């Protein structure tokens, strides 16, 4: 399934203005204000028991916009909120090295601090930054997204660093 970049999404209350059902349990939505998202809901349909009935492709294809654009619903009474569809679509997006660099700048982390926060070594961070067009591992992308959305997660993992090399213990005592 081709995934669109999610643009123009507003974190308040998204309103779906257009809907297209895509084979194999996908939804493409247009949002008020011009945003759009494409979400593969196969995981939801196959692994979330309440949505088991939607495994029937004919039933899934009957999706329609409901609740004044706040959700997508099916004739059997199941519905999925616009916010949940956007969350799935965002989680399915990859993060390139360039996007990792932008994340690091937005949250204000040095390479050493990013390595601490993500529980990797500094060379790994440098590798993500060097491979600008290549995607970072999905687990790293999820961690970055979560830490940016919930600053307490980020702050719990960051250890403030001082620039330069630490002084040797013997030099510090004699100086």
Percent of the chain topping pLDDT 70: 85
- Identify the structural domains of the chain with CATH numbers, from first to last: 16-91 (3.30.2020.10), 97-157 (1.10.260)
Q: pLDDT, tens digit, for every residue of 77-125?
A: 999 999 999 999 999 999 999 999 999 999 999 999 999 999 999 999 9
Residue 28: pLDDT over 80: yes
- The DSSP-derived string for 37-67 is EEEE-HHHHHH-GGGGGGGSHHHHTT-EEEG
Pairing of strands 71-73, 79-81: antiparallel
pTM recorded for the entire structure: 0.74
Distance CA 112, CA 119 (A): 10
Residue 1: pLDDT over 50: no
Residue 9: pLDDT over 70: no
Banded pLDDT at 159 (limits 50, 70, 90): confident
Q: What pLDDT was estimated at residue 2?
A: 36
């Amino acid at each position: 399934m081709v995934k669109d970049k999610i643009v123009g999404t507003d974190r308040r209350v998204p309103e779906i203005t257009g809907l297209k059902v895509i084979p194999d349990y996908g939804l493409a939505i247009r949002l008020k204000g011009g945003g759009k998202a494409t979400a593969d809901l196969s995981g939801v349909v196959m692994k979330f028991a309440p949505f088991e009935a939607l495994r029937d492709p004919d039933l899934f294809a009957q999706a329609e916009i409901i609740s004044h654009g706040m959700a997508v619903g099916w004739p059997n009474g199941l519905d999925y909120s616009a916010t949940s569809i956007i969350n799935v679509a965002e989680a399915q997006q990859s993060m390139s090295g360039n996007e990792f660099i932008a994340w690091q700048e937005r949250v204000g982390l040095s390479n050493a601090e990013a390595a601490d926060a993500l529980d990797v070594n500094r060379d790994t961070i440098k590798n993500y930054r060097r491979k600008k067009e290549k995607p970072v591992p999905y687990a790293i992308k999820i961690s970055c997204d979560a830490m940016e959305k919930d600053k307490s997660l980020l702050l719990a993992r960051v250890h403030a660093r001082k620039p330069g090399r630490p002084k040797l213990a013997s030099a510090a005592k004699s100086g």
